[in-house]
Amino acid sequence: MSMANSASPAAAARHGTGPAARSKTRSSAARNSARDPHAHMSWVPGGTFLMGSADFYPEERPVHRVSVDGFWMDTRPVTVAEFRRFAKATGYVTVAERPLDPRDYPDADPDLLVPGSLVFRRTPGPVDLRDYTNWWAYVPGASWRRPDGPGSDCRGRERHPVTHVAYEDAESYAAWAGQELPTEAEWEYAARGGLDGAVFAWGDEFAPDGEMMANTWQGAFPWQNLLIDGYEGTSPAGSFPANGYGLSDMTGNVWEWTCDYFTACHRAAAAPCCVPRNPRVSSPAQSGRTAGPGAHLPRRVIKGGSHLCAPSYCLRYRPAARQGEAIDSATCHLGFRCVVRPG
């Protein structure tokens, strides 16, 4: 999907063109003190790196030096099984499962004012790539429990990344686990695995010696999936080689939430003497405006691309790639992973 400078399809499907805001109900779940916050994590040593890219999409510019302190990061995205334990222990209800109040959506299609989420539908043939409604559908009843909508379930997907999670859902899970969501700088630094400036998380060649290194789309999007990587949709977390920091699925499979608000481009590069350390965009006022339905909603940065990213449409399975996602958006290709910062 490629909508970095426009409203997300979830916001467009749900909001029409009016200034509606989804009501938020924060979970009362307490921190899960019994869970080891470092379990299934890798240590990412601190350092300085070149963030962004000048070779692909405008929102990735300019390339600039950034320093981050060391931190622990999940070795793979949070899985369905892990999210199920959280929901069972706390009774948490995700944003996609909650009722919608028509008063909050005065200009929305009444038929869409039911709990649900966005689901990808492969088209029978070539379509206009400028119109994402050709392959995205707002499906009532779709959620992390029913990823394809009513009648579907998560059997056989327990090890897959959990999807259909909005920002609040990811943040609530992290708090329960005694963890946090990464900043954009932390995420990108970790995804590079020590290969500063490389195009991909594993180097500059997409498929070294013919080996597929991530779950992405091969073929003509959104109708022809050649399945060279062996997967039609999401894949079990950790199915592809880990990067230099022992982190799997940092690109491809599912997009991942970060805690930074989205800006249309990176800040201008600092002087060598003033390299930003642990930078973050910490409020909506610091983020850029976007156009289209749902543009009034705060947008957070998502990173990594997904199994729906194709080079002909969305070459974003790269550490530098970034998009902005409305905080109430939940889709079938968006998940998250957590970090723990020392101290």
Q: What is the DSSP string of 253-289?
A: SSEEEEEEEP-SSPPPPPPGGG--BS----SGGGSPP
Confidence class of residue 41 from pLDDT cuts 50, 70 and 90?
A: very high
Q: What is the mean pLDDT of the chain?
A: 87
Confidence class of residue 290 from pLDDT cuts 50, 70 and 90?
A: low
Please report the domains of the chain, with CATH numbers, ordered by start residue. 1-17+43-343 (3.90.1580.10)
**What interhelical angle do 80-90 and 167-176 show, nearest 10?**
70
pLDDT: is 268 or 117 the higher one?
Answer: 117
Q: What is the pLDDT of residue 107?
A: 79
pLDDT: is 9 or 225 the higher one?
Answer: 225
Residue 147 predicted with pLDDT over 70: yes
39/107 Cα distance (integer angstroms) = 45
Q: What is the pLDDT of residue 192?
A: 98
Q: What is the pLDDT of residue 152?
A: 95
Q: Mean pLDDT lowest for which of 28-37, 49-58, 324-333?
A: 28-37
The edge-to-edge listing of strands for the beta sheet with 41-44 is 41-44, 71-74, 339-340
| Amino acid found at 1 | M
Q: Mean pLDDT lowest for which of 67-71, 101-105, 152-156?
A: 101-105
Confidence class of residue 343 from pLDDT cuts 50, 70 and 90?
A: confident
Contact 113, 102 (CB under 8 A): yes
Using a cut of 0.85, tell me whether the model's pTM lies above it. Answer: yes
Taking only the tens place, the pLDDT of each residue in 192-245 is 999 999 999 999 999 999 999 999 999 999 999 999 999 999 999 999 999 999
9/11 Cα distance (integer angstroms) = 5
Taking alpha carbons only, the member of 237, 238, 215 closest to residue 227 is 215
Helices (H), the chain: 9-15, 80-90, 167-176, 184-192
Q: What is the DSSP string of 90-122?
A: H----GGGS---GGG-TTS-GGG-SSEEEEE--
Q: Mean pLDDT lowest for which of 2-6, 157-161, 260-264?
A: 2-6
Dmax over CA atoms of the chain, in Å, equals: 58
306/233 Cα distance (integer angstroms) = 9
236/213 Cα distance (integer angstroms) = 14
